Amino acid sequence: MEGVYIDRRRACGFGYYETMGVTREDKEGRMAIARKNFEFFDAPHVAFFSMPRTFNFPQAVDMGILLGTMMLVMVDKGLGCIAQGSLAGYPGPVKEIADIPEDNEIMFGLSFGYIDDDAHINTVRMPRADLNDIASFTS
């Protein structure tokens, strides 16, 4: 990533750490926060999404559409969820416990469950780019 994309990614990270009370100098705190990804943010459930290695960009787009739709349905049913691209970085342990075909690549995970309103982590809000900065419309 570069340019505005890395800037947005950093803004999300800095905001997350700030909300959680972890400073840039707090290496142990940063590691503990990073581990939350692999603890599924304490969600009781996780789903892993994979697709065959032979698939291409259009199929990856379809997977993103599927993920977004599932997240909307979960919210409609009263569940909280978080998509996690970081979970794709460790396919070995996932394939040991999940029935994922050997020729599939893990794309992302989705942690979900009922929201714990008292959990401080659930107060984190990520900044969003203005719609006019990410899309253009013509008539």
Question: pLDDT tens digits, the chain, 139 residues: what are they?
Answer: 899 999 999 999 899 999 999 998 999 999 999 899 899 999 999 999 999 999 999 999 999 999 999 999 999 999 999 999 998 998 999 999 899 999 999 999 999 999 999 999 889 998 899 999 999 999 8
Place of tokens 């999940």: 98
Q: What pTM did the predictor assign?
A: 0.86
- Catalogue all structural domains in the chain, each as residue range(s) with its CATH number: 3-134 (3.40.109.10)
Q: Which residues of 41-73 are buried (b: 16+ CB within 10 A; e: fewer)?
A: bebeebebbbbeeeeeeeeeeeeeeebeebbee
Q: Which helix (H) or strand (E) holds 79?
A: none
The residues, ordered by sequence, that sit 6+ positions from 100 with a Cβ below 8 Å of its Cβ are 48, 50, 94, 106
Q: Give the pair of three-digit tokens for residue 20.
A: 């959680």
